[in-house]
Amino acid sequence: MDHTEDLSARVLLKHILTTEPPRTPITRSATSRSSRQGNKDGGAQTPQDLLRHSLKHRLRESITRKSLPPPKRRTASVVLKRINMPATASMLFDDGDTPRHILRNILRTEPVRTPVVHDRAASGEPQPSSANSSIASKRQSTELSGFDLPDLTISDVVSTAKGLSRKRPRRSLNVTAFEKRLRDGEDVEGQNEEASQDNSSLSLSSSTSLSLKTPYVDVHTEKRGLQRRVSNRRKITEEEFGAAVNRRHMGEASSFVQPERGPSDTAYSEGFTLGLSKLSEPDITTDILHCNTALYAQTDAMTSNYTTVATQDKPTAMASQLQRQMSEMEQSELREEKSMNAFPTEEEAVAEPQGEEYISESQENAGGSTTNGQAQDVAVMSKSEDEENVVEAQTGEEGATDSQADEEEEEKEDGGVDSEPEEDGTTRSQSEEVQPDSRTQEEKEEEEEEEEKEDAVESQIEEECAVDAQHEEEEKDEDDAVDSQSDEKESAVDSLPEEEEEEEEEEEVAEYESNQEDPAEVSVSQFKPEDEHDGEEEVEEDGEQASEQLDGDLEHVSRRAHRSEGGLVVPVTEAEGDLADGPEARLSDGKSKAYTTFDLQNIAEMGSHESGPPHSTEFSNHGQRDASEAEKENSFDPPPVMQDIEDNGQMSDESPEEAAAQEEEEEEEEEWEDDEEIEDAPSKTPAFVRQKRDLLRPDPLASPSVLKNIQASASDSGDLPAPAPKQVRKRRAGPSRKAGGLPKNYLMSIFKHFAKTKVSADVYPVLQEIMDKFFERLADDLETYAIHAKRKTIEVEDAELLLRRQGHVSDKVPVEVLIEKYLRMDQRRLLIPIATSGNVVFPKKRR
Amino acid sequence: MLNKAPKLKHTVKGKMKSNVKMGPASEAMLELLTLVFVNSLAEEAKAKAFEEKSATIRAQHLKAVSKKVLKKARG
């Protein structure tokens, strides 16, 4: 104890010297030590390393059997051996002469300070033990203090060890055991040493602050163990991680299961599922953005139509589509799309009259397959307005796809026609929320068709479609198609019984044309005299002009459409301006999109209005041009455009027949446009759009047959109702589906926010269901309350009553509390009176 | 809460049998109702999940509590 205080090296040294220097058998000469250093047993490491190793080893040993002094001794010796430092260790301690050795010996012999040391010393082999201890002590010292030489001074070691002991908490040494061991181990060495050791050990032990409890061996062993373990672990983890990463890269979410990844697995799986779900959605979102939602709904319809009969498809599809679109006015998307579509149609209509190309295109397309489509369209057009509109929209899409594919050439022609119908279509589209995609496509189809047939009606249809689709690329194609179609339609207009739609479309187209440009009117007039060939010519002319206009407009519109913002007015004006600049240029520029949309719309309008043939011709021209221009998915637009046209019912100039013919042509053109659109602008349109087009194309293919059977429109009309309902049904499915659920991410985010813990992704369907039921009940209750209050509008008090009945609000808890808790500021402002400047309180307090 | 609850009104109106209108203020109340409901749902589900010693809310937890919470929100 007295020594405990005096741990200075000097004191210890003196003590040691007095007792006996070379306690440890290892006391060799410094040379030996050096030699040891030189050949660190096999390892040939630096003495420090050896020391460290031995220390660790010893520590480990001591830790494992600290209660057993004898074994410790042995272990120490064993450790020593393992350390392969017996000789060297012994060598180390051989030098008892030098202070270093002395210190070392002290360290060794002082179990208290450095249990390892003492243990070693106490171990059976004095040398090894001493070596161990010395080594340990050395190591400690070296490690701690970085000294290479062993510190014989126990105090030093101890102190240094204590001070620098960064080892993990040594086990409290059993001092007595240590001492015993020391004594035992030091029997050979010398009792003096032992005594001294004991003293020192005692002092040391007493003084040891438990920091150096563990013997050197332990330290060494521990270190080793730690090191090894650490390294092993690292390896494993790295490997595992690498493997896991690889696996992950391979896409094996499931395989990525590791204990560490428990949570990550969940996340991954969640992410996986989410990703999967997202995969299904992007198309929809993009489609929605591009107002191509109609495409989705219609794709099935289109394909079915296509497969069923070509004749009916376009007009019936368009008509049905238009109908459906009208019914789905609530959808904001549709609104946007409509606005967008409106523009293209207008543009198209404007462009059409300007388009010289239209004429050429129409001429070119005269013999094209678009004629068939146009004929079909025309025939379809002849059917009931609604049917036609819807079908036309659909067929327009189909036709657009077909026309797109077929009429890349006919861009110009369609443009002219499309512009006219598009104009009308825009007006109608504005009024209606027709899915722009369908419209644009329809328009495109119409445009394409027009080219071939130059039927105003068709062009209208196509324009409508084009407007809906609002795809620039397809405009041209559609225009061509529409133009051709319109031409053809005109010929078949007379035979078409479905004058209503045509008239409407024509009217619309005519209106649009008149509104937009003189050429439109001219085309309208042209439409009138033209029944077949004349109509085509006129349509072409008109279409060209209109298409040109429409092209310019369509471009703008289409661009806007893509932005999915209803800036109808602006694009229209711009389009008009553009159209005025250079119809031809427009057509060629690829404003076909807008153009076709316009055309399609116009066509649709024309068809619906069944206005005078001139309009139809114009529309057809427009449509053709549009079709040619907007090769993209404007095919879808025609149907909605058609509807719009019908709705507007402004067209009165064009004769029903012509309008019908135009419509049919438009439809066909639309179809063509669609095809063309798809073909011409593969790079521009996203994949999903292309897919839609592909789907639509088959439908438009049917339209050619319709065009061919213009005269057989009567028969077609019979067929139209069948596919129209189908398409209608399918289209409805989409919107109704959407109406069902809340957005997924919104729901999940809210739920997670309220849950405040992790939420697995698989809760979403269940959550959906629950919310479904909840909304059902909610609506029911609110309605009941409102009706009970003899009101037709649900008011705030109804909701408050519901909350009260649910127990969330009571007399003690006013509803305002909840409002403030949950709602955003803009909502709160509606509910809680806020005083604003001017002594105005809003909302007015009702109670 | 921070978002706008897209299509909420549309969804609810879709469920309505008779055609009734809704003012803007009532739309806000609608949101409030849904939020309150989802809140209670989430709370119950969380409790259930803790009951099963799981830090993550899973579908089965949700299902188990849904019936109860729905009944409570009947009014």
pLDDT in tens, A774-789: 888 888 888 888 888 8
pLDDT higher than threshold 50 for residue A825: yes
Q: What is the pLDDT of residue B51?
A: 86
Query: What is the Cα–Cα distance from B56 to A751, expressed in whole angstroms?
Result: 13
A271: chain B residues, CB-CB within 8 Å: none
Q: Tell whether the model's pLDDT for residue B27 goes beyond 70.
A: yes
Nearest residue in A to B10, CA atom: A739
Interatomic CA distance for residues A596 and A396, integer angstroms: 11
A755 touches chain B (CB under 8 A): yes
Question: Cβ B21–A794 below 8 Å, yes or no?
Answer: yes
Residue the block writes with tokens 């004929």: A375
The pLDDT value given to residue A559: 46
A628-643 pLDDT per residue, tens: 444 444 444 444 444 4
CB contact set of A223 (below 8 Å; sequence gap of 6+): A52, A55, A56, A59, A167
Tokens 């519901």 — which residue?
A802
Task: Please check whether residue B72 touches A, CB under 8 A.
Answer: yes
Using a CB–CB cutoff of 8 Å, tell me whether A773 touches chain B.
Answer: yes
A770's tokens: 């629950």
Q: Give yes or no for a contact between A470 and A558, defined as CB atoms under 8 angstroms apart.
A: yes
For residue range A454-485, list pLDDT tens digits in order. Answer: 444 444 444 444 444 444 444 444 444 444 44
Poorest-confidence range of A221-225, A511-515, A828-832? A511-515
pLDDT-based confidence at residue A845 (cuts at 50, 70, 90) = low
The first and second tokens of residue A713, run together, are 């429109």
- Cβ of A827 within 8 Å of Cβ of B28? The answer is yes
Minimum CA–CA partner of B38 in chain A = A751
Cα(A364)–Cα(A477) distance, integer angstroms: 12
CA distances for A535 relative to A317, A358, A385, A457, A672, angstroms? 24, 13, 21, 11, 19
Task: Identify which of B35, B27, B73 has the alpha carbon closest to the alpha carbon of residue A795.
Answer: B27
Choose among A527, A813, A477, A533: nearest CA to A676: A477
Helix (H) or strand (E) holding A484: helix A473-493
Return left, alpha or beta for A547; rule: phi > 0 is left, psi -120 to 50 is alpha, else beta. Answer: alpha
Within 10 A of A280 (CB to CB), how many other CB atoms are there? 8
Report the residue from B5, B6, B62 with minimal CB separation from A763.
Answer: B62
List of chain B residues whose C-beta atoms are within 8 Å of the C-beta of residue A818? 32, 36
- The pLDDT of residue A806 is 83
pLDDT digits (tens, 9 = 90+) for A509-543: 444 444 444 444 444 444 444 444 444 444 444 44
Using a CB-CB cut-off of 8 Å, the residues of chain B touching A827 are: 28, 31-32
In this predicted structure, what is the pLDDT of residue A262? 43
pLDDT band at residue A390 under the 50/70/90 scheme:
very low
Structure tokens at A741: 């659920």
Whether residue A645 has pLDDT greater than 70: no
C-alpha B70/C-alpha B73 separation (Å) is 5
Q: Does B43 touch chain A (CB under 8 A)?
A: yes
Task: Determine whether the interchain pair B70/A773 forms a contact, defined as Cβ–Cβ distance below 8 Å.
Answer: yes
Kindly state the average pLDDT of the residues A282-290.
52
Rg (CA), chain B: 15
List Cβ neighbours of A577 (8 Å cut-off, separation of 6 or more): A552
* pLDDT (0 to 100) of residue A55: 77
User: Any residues with CB less than 8 A from the CB of A16 and at least 6 apart, and which?
Assistant: A23, A102, A103, A105, A106, A109, A152, A153, A154, A193, A196, A200
Q: Is B47 on the interface with A (CB under 8 A)?
A: no
Question: If phi over 0 gives left and psi between -120 and 50 gives alpha, with beta otherwise, what is residue A197?
Answer: alpha
Q: Does A825 touch chain B (CB under 8 A)?
A: no
Please report the pLDDT score of residue A437 as a whole number: 46
pLDDT at A149: 54
Among the partner-chain residues B2, B26, B42, the one whose CB lies closest to the CB of A795 is B26
Q: Which single residue is written with the structure tokens 């270190």?
A: A223
Whether the per-residue pLDDT at A302 is higher than 70: the answer is no
- Stronger pLDDT, A761 or A174, i.e. the higher one: A761
Contacts of A743 in chain B (CB under 8 A): 6-7
Percentage of the residues of chain A whose pLDDT score is greater than 90:
0
Q: Which residues contact A302 (CB under 8 A, 6 or more apart)?
A: A313, A317, A394, A397, A398, A401, A695, A696, A698, A699, A700, A727
* pLDDT of A758 strictly over 80: yes
Is residue A491 very low, low, confident or very high in pLDDT (cuts 50, 70, 90)? Answer: very low
Q: Does A805 touch chain B (CB under 8 A)?
A: yes
pLDDT of residue A322: 53
* pLDDT tens figures, A39-68: 444 545 577 777 777 777 787 777 766 555
**In percent, how much of chain A has pLDDT > 70?**
18
Is beta strand A628-630 parallel, antiparallel or unpaired with respect to A834-836? unpaired
On the CB side of A73, how many CA atoms lie within 13 Å of its CA?
A: 21
**Confidence band (pLDDT; 50, 70, 90) for A694?**
low
* Residue pLDDT, tens place only, A169-200: 555 556 666 677 767 765 555 445 444 444 44
Partners of residue A828 in chain B, C-beta under 8 Å: 28
Taking CB atoms and an 8 Å cutoff, what residues of chain A touch B15?
775-776, 778-780
pLDDT of res. B47: 87
- Using the Cβ of A803 and the Cβ atoms of chain B, whether some distance falls under 8 Å is answered with yes
Residues 310-369 of A with CB under 8 A from B: 330
Q: Cβ contacts (< 8 Å) between A767 and chain B: which residues? A: 41, 62
- Kindly indicate the confidence band of residue A500, based on its pLDDT and cuts at 50, 70 and 90: very low
pLDDT value at residue A287: 53
pLDDT of residue A759: 84
Residues of B in contact with A787 (CB under 8 A): 18, 20
Nearest to A671, CA basis, from A390, A468, A377: A377
Specify the pLDDT at position A417: 45
Q: Does A762 touch chain B (CB under 8 A)?
A: yes
Residue A366 has pLDDT above 60, yes or no: no
User: Does any CB of chain A come closer than 8 Å to the CB of residue B33?
Assistant: yes
pTM tops 0.90, yes or no = no
Average pLDDT over residues A711-720: 48
10 Å Cβ neighbour count for A696? Answer: 52
How confident is the model at residue A687, as a pLDDT?
A: 60
Cross-chain Cβ contact A743/B75 below 8 Å: no
Measure in Å the smallest separation between the Cα of A270 and chain B Cα atoms.
11
Report whether A483 contacts A450 (CB < 8 A): yes
Say yes or no for a CB contact (<8 Å) between B33 and A803. Answer: yes
Q: Which residues of chain A make contact with B56, given a CB cutoff of 8 A? A: 266, 757-760
Contact A793 B38 (CB under 8 A): no
Instruction: State the best of A270, A762, A766, A820 to mutate against chain B, taking most chain B CBs within 10 Å.
Output: A766
Please write the tens of the pLDDT for every residue from A395-428: 444 444 444 444 444 444 444 444 444 444 444 4
Total residues belonging to chain A: 847
A792: burial class by Cβ within 10 Å (0-12, 13-18, 19+)?
exposed
Predicted pLDDT at A178:
65
d(CA A394, CA A373): 13
User: How far is A234 from chain B, CA to nearest CA, in Å?
Assistant: 29
Rounded to an integer, what distance in angstroms lies between the CA atom of residue B67 and that of residue A457?
A: 57
Residues of A in contact with B42 (CB under 8 A): 751, 754-756
A vs B: CB pairs below 8 A: 185
Mean per-residue pLDDT, A291-300: 51
Mean of all residue pLDDT scores within chain A? 54
Residue B12 to residues A367, A517, A651, A669, A774, Cα–Cα distance (Å) = 53, 46, 39, 40, 10
**What is the reported pLDDT for A803?**
83
Q: Is A164 on the interface with B (CB under 8 A)?
A: no
